[in-house]
Structure 1
Amino acid sequence: MTEGPVGVAVMAYGTPATPDDVEAYYTHIRRGRPPTPEQLADLRSRYDALGGTSSMAARTAAQVDAISAALEARAPGRCRVVLGQKHAVPFVEDAAATLLAEGVTDVVGIVLAPHYSGFSVGEYQRRLADAMAEGGGRAAAVDRWSDLPEWQAFTARAVGDALADLPAATKVLFTAHSLPERVLVGDPYPGELARSARAIARQAGLATWAGWGLAWQSAGRTPEPWRGPDVLEVIRDLADTGRSEGVLVCPQGFVTDHLEVGYDLDIEARAVADEVGLAFARTRTVDDDATVMGALADRILAAADDLARPEAP
C-alpha cells in the first residue's frame, strides 16, 4: 500500500484551444501525418461553424472540477486530480508526469466516455499505465460507467424533456461514435451501447423499437468499413416510411458538446431532418451534472480502494 494521496487522471479526447491550433491537432490525430489542404480546410470550416473552436475545453475543465469537488467532499485530501488528453495538451503522459513529479505513484484513470472499447478507452488506459510504469508508479482503471444508475436516469430525463416539444410520432435515436469494423470484432462497445440504450429507453417509457433505435455517427473518412447505420441515413429512412413526424437524437456516447455533437448533429443531422420534413431535436449532454459527477467519484474511490489493498502473497 502506498502512503500519500491517490492520483486521479481524468482523461478526455481534447480539442484545439484556438483556430491556429487546428492543424497541429489534426496532425496529432493522424499520428503525425499532416492533413492535406482539403482535409484541413474541411475541418476548419466545421470549427468556423461553431465559432472557431468548440466549447469542449471549457466544458471538460468544468467536469474535472466537479469530479475533484465530489472526491474532496467524500474523501478530504485523499485525491490529486489532473487532466490528461488524447490529442491536446496536457496529454495523458503529461498527467502521469505531473503526478509522479509530486511523488504520487498510484493513479486511477477514468475516461470521460461512458462505454468501453479497446480502441478508444482502452488506448487511454494503456497510455496512462505505460507512463506511470516508466516512472515506477501504478495505474488502475475505471473502464466503463454506462451502467451507472445516475447517468442512465439523467439521460432518460433528458430524453423525456426533449420529447415534450416534439410531435407524438417521434422516434428517438441513440447514437455513439462509429468505429472501424475491424476493431469491433470481439469488442464490447456495441453491446454496451445497446444495453444502455435499452435501459434508458425503458426509464423514459419509450415503446420497444417502435419508439427508439440505435444509430452511429461521425465515422472516419477512410476506405475501410465503419459501423453503421449512419444517423443521417436513418433520418432519411424514417422520413421514407411515413411513420415518423420527428426525430430526437440522444448522443449517449458523448458527455459534452463538441464537434461531433455541435456540428455532426446540431448542424448536419438537423439539416437532413429539415430536408426530409421531420421535426428535429437533440438531448442535452451530461456535462458537469453534480449527481453524475458524484457517482463517478464513488466509482473512482472504489478503484482506489482496490489499488490500495496489499497484494495477495
Structure 2
Amino acid sequence: MQFDALLLLSFGGPEGPDEVMPFLENVTRGRGIPRERLESVAEHYLHFDGVSPINGINRALIAEIEAELADRGQTLPVYFGNRNWAPYVEDAVTAMRNDGVRRAAVFATSAWGGYSSCTQYNEDIARGRAAAGDGAPELVKMRHYFDHPLLVEMFAEAIGDATQSLPAELRDEARLVFTAHSIPVAADERHGPHLYSRQVAYATRLVAAAAGYAEFDQVWQSRSGPPRIPWLEPDIGDHMAALAERGTRAVVICPIGFVADHIEVVWDLDSEVREQAADLGIAMARASTPNADRRYARLALDLVDELRDGREAARVVGDDPTPGCGYSVNGTTCADSPRCVARISG
C-alpha cells in the first residue's frame, strides 16, 4: 500500500485568550454543557494565557517526523489537521486534494481504541473527505499503538527520570501511579467491550515491567460528566487521599493515557494534583509524555512502514492476550479491516 502523504490528526486547542470559549463550545457542542461549566474549564486555559500546549507540541512533532524522514532518505509531505480548532481537518484534507494527494496515512495522537480515542477520529476523517469533495484522497487511519515498543520505552524511561527528581531518601519507596482520562462506564462498555480500559490496563503492565516495577496502581482523571453518571474509577484525587491514609510519602505519576503534555496534564496533574499532594505531605514526581520525542516520530513512521511494506506489527507482548480492536478481522489492523470505517475511500 503506497502513500503520497501523512496526516497528523489531533484534538486541537486554543492559542490565545479569545479562542478559549469558542474552542470549548466546539468540543462540547450538542452535549448540553452549562455555560458556567465551560467558564470554569476556561480558567484552566487562561492560567496559561489561553494557550494550550497541544498545537505547539504537534508542530514540533511534525518537525521531528520531517527530520526522521530526511534521515531515512524518504520524501513524504506531512499535513496537520485538528478536530476542534485550527488547523481543522477539513482544511488539511482540502489542501491535500489541491496538492494532488491520492492516498494518505493518518496518524492520530491517541494510542487507544474506543469512541473518543478512535471512532471520533474516524468521523473526523470522513468529515474531512466530505469537505474536500470530489477528488478527496483516500485516508487510512493507522492502528492503535498502545503496545508499540517505542511507546513503552518512552514511558518507562520517563518514569525513571521522574523518580530521580524525588528526594534521594524517598525514591525507593515511591508508589508508581498510572493515570488515563476517565470516560463514562457505559461508553467503555459499548466499544470492544471495555476496549479502552483493557488497553490502558495492558499498557500499564507493559510499562511497569519495563520500568522495573512489580507493584503499581492504575487510576483515572479529568472526568467531566454529572455525578449521577458512573465514570471509570478510582479518580486520582481519591486515590491520592487513600495513599496518604496508608502512609505513602512519595508518588511517581505516569500519565500513560496521554501522548502529550496538554492542558489535562499540565493543569489537572501539575497544578491540582500537585497541590493536593503537597497538602497531604506526599512528594510527587510526574513522568513526561512522549510529546515531540524523536522516538515518537519514529513510531509514527514505523506504522506507515507496516502498512506500506506489509510488515508484522511491532508490539511488546504481555502475559495476557493483546486487547485488540473489536472491529478487526483475523488479527488484521483496523486500517485493514473491512468492518471498520478507519479506511475511507470513495
TM-score, scaled relative to structure 2: 0.81
Residues 165 and 130 from structure 1, CA distance in 2 versus in 1: closer, same or farther, beyond 3 angstroms? closer
Instruction: Answer whether contact 1:170 1:246 (CA < 8 A) is retained.
Output: yes
Q: Give the structure 2 partner of residue 256 of structure 1.
A: 260
Give 1:250 deviation, angstroms.
0.4
Instruction: Answer whether contact 1:26 1:34 (CA < 8 A) is retained.
Output: no
Counterpart-to-counterpart distance in 1, 2:87 and 2:278 = 39
Q: Give the structure 1 partner of residue 219 of structure 2.
A: 215
Counterpart-to-counterpart distance in 1, 2:298 and 2:80 = 17
Counterpart-to-counterpart distance in 1, 2:100 and 2:287 = 42
Instruction: Answer whether contact 2:179 2:255 (CA < 8 A) is retained.
Output: yes
Counterpart-to-counterpart distance in 1, 2:188 and 2:33 = 26
Instruction: Answer whether contact 1:108 1:141 (CA < 8 A) is retained.
Output: yes
Counterpart-to-counterpart distance in 2, 1:273 and 1:144 = 33
Q: Does 2:201 match 1:194? A: yes
Cα offsets for 1:88-112 (capped at 9, x unmatched):
0122222211111111121111111
Q: Does 2:96 match 1:99? A: yes
Give 1:278 deviation, angstroms.
0.8
TM-score, scaled relative to structure 1: 0.88
Q: Give the structure 1 partner of residue 9 of structure 2.
A: 11
Counterpart-to-counterpart distance in 2, 1:126 and 1:21 = 24
Q: Does 2:155 match 1:155? A: yes
Give 1:35 deviation, angstroms.
5.9
Question: Following TM superposition, where does structure 1 have runs of at least 4 consecutive aligned residues deviating by more than 6 angstroms?
Answer: none
Q: Give the structure 2 partner of residue 81 of structure 1.
A: 78
Q: Give the structure 1 partner of residue 180 of structure 2.
A: 176
> Where in structure 2 are the equivalents of 1:286-301 lying within 5 Å?
286-301=290-305
Counterpart-to-counterpart distance in 1, 2:269 and 2:253 = 8
Q: Give the structure 1 partner of residue 212 of structure 2.
A: 205
Root mean square deviation, CA, Å: 2.2
Instruction: Answer whether contact 1:129 1:138 (CA < 8 A) is retained.
Output: no
Counterpart-to-counterpart distance in 2, 1:48 and 1:119 = 25
Residues 279 and 28 from structure 1, CA distance in 2 versus in 1: closer, same or farther, beyond 3 angstroms? same
Counterpart-to-counterpart distance in 1, 2:53 and 2:121 = 22
Give 1:27 deviation, angstroms.
0.7
Instruction: Answer whether contact 1:92 1:124 (CA < 8 A) is retained.
Output: no
Q: Does 2:263 match 1:278? A: no
Give 1:10 deviation, angstroms.
0.5
Counterpart-to-counterpart distance in 1, 2:194 and 2:142 = 17
> Where in structure 2 are the equivalents of 1:125-140 lying within 5 Å?
125-129=122-126, 131-132=128-129, 134-136=133-135, 137-140=137-140
Cα offsets for 1:166-207 (capped at 9, x unmatched):
313211111111111111111421111111111111111112
AA in 2 matched with 1:45: E
Q: Report which stretch shifted further, 137-146 or 32-41.
A: 32-41
1:113 aligns with one of 110, 117, 124? 110
Percent identity reads 29
List gaps (5 residues or longer) in structure 2.
Answer: 311-334, 337-346
Q: Does 2:229 match 1:224? A: yes
Residues 205 and 42 from structure 1, CA distance in 2 versus in 1: closer, same or farther, beyond 3 angstroms? same
Counterpart-to-counterpart distance in 2, 1:178 and 1:115 = 13
The count of corresponding residues between Structure 1 and Structure 2 is 301
List gaps (5 residues or longer) in structure 1.
Answer: 309-313
